[in-house]
Amino acid sequence: MKADKLYPESKIELNRFLARHYDRLLNFLSFGTYSKFIARAIADTGIEKENHILDLGCGTGRNAALMLGYLGPEGRIAGLDILPEMRKQFEQRFEKEPRVTFIRQRIDVPFDRGEKFDLVFMSFVLHGFPQAVRLIILENVNRHLKPGGRLVLLDYARFNLNQKSFIFRWVFKKFECVYARDFIEHDWKEILENHGLRVEEEKYYYKGNLRLLKARLVDISVSRPG
């Protein structure tokens, strides 16, 4: 356990090495299939040309680069992350792209950027936090969505780890933290619904282990799910 991390048992606050090599590592661990998968998932997101997108825990900007392909001149992406290694890669990637900006911002504490977005995108971030913190993040999502705006959540699907193969369980336990094990047990569709977000569509990848949940903000009065 590292004492300098806010959630010592979490792996979501990547170390410098992992952050620097994050994209390459995903390609390697997925046997080269990640690029095709993530392009599919971003296509499934249903981005519209003029969308203003908030990417929470944006990482290197790999997802933002794909999302940009769907935007017209009026579209915008704001990527939020905390790691300098991610900022460097993100800003290098979008050096000449005025529609994309990086903002250093913790997403696990209540915050308000003073702007509303059409779409909040979050991929492989929510699972890495304790449940109480995930609910704070959902409040941040709602605070930044326009009425009728959408949350697109790409993360682990709901499954029973004990029913998976030995090799799957080994890899999951090796590379993921205790919070991820807790994340897969929650009913995220119900949690989003309780949070004023109506789930409209879900897509599954990698034999149903990963899921894209598409939800629309329908009730801005709901502050905190139970």
Ligand X SMILES: C[S@@+](CC[C@H](N)C(=O)[O-])C[C@H]1O[C@@H](n2cnc3c(N)ncnc32)[C@H](O)[C@@H]1O
Residues that bind ligand X (CB under 6 A): 12-14, 57-59, 62-63, 80-83, 86, 106-108, 123-125
Minimum CB distance to ligand X smaller for 107 or for 192:
107
CB of 198 to ligand X, least distance (A): 24
Nearer to ligand X by Cβ, of 36 and 106: the residue is 106
- Supply 121's token pair: 């995108």
Using an 8 Å Cβ cutoff, are 129 and 137 in contact? yes
Least Å distance between CB 221 and ligand X?
26
* Nearer of residues 49 and 106 to ligand X, judged by Cβ: 106
Tokens representing 115 are: 């702007």
What SS3 class is residue 53? strand
**In the bound complex, what is the minimum distance in angstroms from residue 131's beta carbon to ligand X?**
15
55 and 78 Cβ atoms separated by less than 8 Å: yes
Please state the closest distance from residue 63 (CB atom) to ligand X, in A.
Answer: 5
Query: For residues 83 and 152, which CB has a smaller minimum distance to ligand X in the complex?
Result: 83
Q: 20: exposed, middle or buried (C-beta count within 10 Å: 0-12, 13-18, 19+)?
A: middle
Rounded to whole angstroms, how far apart are CA atoms 106 and 80?
Answer: 8
Joined together, the tokens standing for residue 179 give 């919070």
Q: Which residue is nearest to ligand X (CB)?
A: 59
What are 75's two structure tokens?
A: 């579209």
d(CA 215, CA 201): 7
CB of 142 to ligand X, least distance (A): 17
**Tokens 């369980």 belong to which residue?**
169
Nearer to ligand X, 84 or 147 (CB): 84
Measured over the CA atoms of residue 181, residue 185, residue 189 and residue 194, the dihedral's sign is negative
**Shorter beta-carbon distance to ligand X: residue 171 or 218:** 171
Least distance from ligand X to the Cβ atom of residue 177, Å: 11
